[in-house]
Amino acid sequence: MSDVVIVRTGVANLASVLAGLRRLGVTPDVTTDPAAVRAAQAVILPGVGAFGAGMAALHEHDLAAPLKERAAAGRPLLSVCLGLQLLASSSDEAPGVPGLGVFDAHVARFPDTVKVPQLGWNKVAPDAGCRLLEPGYAYFANSYRLPEAPAGWSAARAEHGGPFIAALEKGALLACQFHPELSGPWGLALLDRWLTAAREA
């Protein structure tokens, strides 16, 4: 069993995630094997691209069920960028395509009053209840976002056409709309805190 497994979705920049983890001394396995996702101590669901394509890739490899099981059990799971959006129930980007439904929330497109996609650095402001998330600046690349925090999750927020969810956490579950692996020392420190929490879970 590998301690850390990255889900190969086919719609993710694995190179940056792998590089970030290796800077922390972690060498993860990359897999499409549902058994590996169930067995791993910690799992990362990355993603860059479209909601519909991401869900299709998960279903193609029978990965939706083990990911939902991990989240329901509170087992360590880190979701990045599109990975956060896939945890929701639905998205403007793919009408009629159900998400993983880890939380009941709808992902909406940024308003036309701001530049879309959002590309670059933005301030992240965590709620008082956050344990892993700290104030700082993170790198974002997204056209869609979660407007509100789902019930039971602590949230960090950012501003782009109004407030939106920059990240969510609940125990050893961490979901980041930004890319922690591209967010400099602040992002690597967040990854390190999550890995520590995963080992302790």
Question: Which one of 93, 160, 176, 181 is the catalytic residue?
Answer: 181
Domains of the chain: 4-200 (3.40.50.880)
- Please tell me the distance from the alpha carbon of residue 166 to that of residue 14, in angstroms, as a whole number: 21
Q: Which residue in 60, 160, 179, 200 is the catalytic one?
A: 179
Active site residue 176: no
Catalytic residue among 60, 61, 81, 169: 81
> Which residues make beta-bridge pairs with 31?
7
User: Residues of the chain whose pLDDT is less than 70?
Assistant: 1-2, 11-12
* 179 is known as an active-site residue: yes
In the block, which residue shows the tokens 């793919």? 94
Closest CA to 102 of 140, 151, 141: 151
Write down the pLDDT at residue 1.
Answer: 39
* 181 carries an active-site annotation: yes
Lookup: tokens for 172: 């050893």
The pLDDT of residue 48: 82
The pLDDT of residue 47 is 83
What are the pLDDT digits (tens) for 6-21? 998 876 678 889 999 9
Residue reference for tokens 């990911």 = 67
Helices 51-60/64-73 angle, 10° precision: 100
Can you tell me the distance from the alpha carbon of 158 to that of 23, in angstroms, rounded to the nearest whole number? 26
pTM over 0.85: yes
The pair of structure tokens assigned to 51 is 């909601």
Amino acid at 173: L
